[in-house]
Structure 1
């Protein structure tokens, strides 16, 4: 494995990021390079710009899939290093450039050291950041023809020493959903607010009542966080009593069942409050991520691979609170996601100054290849 070459490759991907659902050039670039590694088959345009690269041994064995993400974020990069993003307002601030490079490195390894049993599928997924990508892939007929026996993914995790493997059986990442509540009353002259319907009191009541549903104790079975992310009322026109308002939240729970219960409770609160204040309303739910449920056998393979490679294995006590749409895959197939630690002093994910640490590319490739060897031993 040539880390210098893979580092160069990762830095090239970093310079040309594309937003969710728009990863046309990223996909084309990867496909052209992966063709040179002589895979058995490449299936393109799965659930958008996603694609699958298949290495088939021709002998009976398990089909193992590994997934990486193609998309970047709408964040303006502040880094000034030579490989900084060349696209204004868009950058790889979640490390998907590194994840793609790890799968590319795995493809190189599979070309040099072919598998003797079963098959490997490298899945490059579009639109992970919006929660739409996995859903689109699972509903695509082309994906249904390559059903895996196991599916794995990783995510780099800043805040831990370089190269540690972080995992747990069961819930690994939270169930997440965001919502927007639009309130419509009636504007009036600010001198005569009684002639209108101002949603100001309703807005305050909704924030208070919805926040009361939160249970931030991570040890609780029904843990949840409810973050108020946006609120707006009226406009800066001082002769007008406001007639419209908007309120947004993001909700996170350990279990999808708890998330659905909270959605029902919030819908009821909004209905009751708006009826009380004679307001019309609309609720929109979006960017929903199912929790990753790590299969016991798949998790065991991750732990065994880490120990075989002499990587420090950390058994996570609580799930991570961020969302990841890989959770949809683990609802349908035996699979697991693990964290690959990106360094204690690496900037946090989604920060404008974050950059994927290239030193852990080898760890990622080695973990995936070792898992594959174990399953088709």
Structure 2
């Protein structure tokens, strides 16, 4: 208990102290930081990056072959073995995360292969996100919200940040929820009743019928409605999950939109910022809490056709089970039906 209050005191002290030299690299809430220049997907690489990727493919082939032989049911390895497009996409993520260093990328991939084998990642069930002691706040939205085309925004994820509860969370359960969500987006078979409908443009190599929704990346909307630094922050848990994500799922994030946040969020952000690369920081979009509000920004930047109606968009996507419709008032939608389906068009 004492350590908890010391942690909280450090958070609020950091929010009141003058910015250090290191803080100058962090954006202020509400300030638009341009995202990194758009990079080509694996089908459209320039000659230099294509050559580097070919070298990485050659360098990692023995390790991937050994891992596939030892763990043929591993979802990631199954995808890689089935599709050269998926293999190339995966390795390109490691190459870019390593800033073009082939040896660094190969070492990082080897670490991921060892981690997946040690922790039996494929055995973590999809239901891990529903464990009460995970208090997991993330929801993968339906196919209507996907943009799986090359260069697109990928899968759309909504995070109800106030659902994370430091009083009841068990760190291992939370991490399992993070892993289950990422595996579902990237590698695992989609539900038979709701296969991905994303079309592959003419001339592209077909992606495998399995391998999840074949997300190259995801766009996240982090909603802080009802969030409290005293109730919804556990720094060791969050830092551990972020470290795992950046190590074993590199370069999978697209834009991350922070909406409806109180000023205390920035103090927490400053404490996790050392874990974030410049590339990650430039993907974070602090949507101003004043002015036009979140809905116009999300409709414009995420896309109205991709945004659920309950977040102010046009996509017919039910409110996920577990999300309290009462918390969605900030998105200016009309009342929701009893089954969680939106009623009427978004206001504004």
Structure with the higher fraction of residues in helix conformation: 2
Q: Give the greater-gyration-radius structure (CA).
A: 1
Q: TM over 0.5: same fold?
A: no
Q: In which range does the TM-score fall when normalised by the shorter chain?
A: under 0.3
Task: Give the number of the structure with larger relative contact order, counting CA–CA contacts within 8 Å between residues 6 or more apart.
Answer: 1
TM superposition score normalised by structure 2: 0.21
More strand per residue: 1 or 2? 1
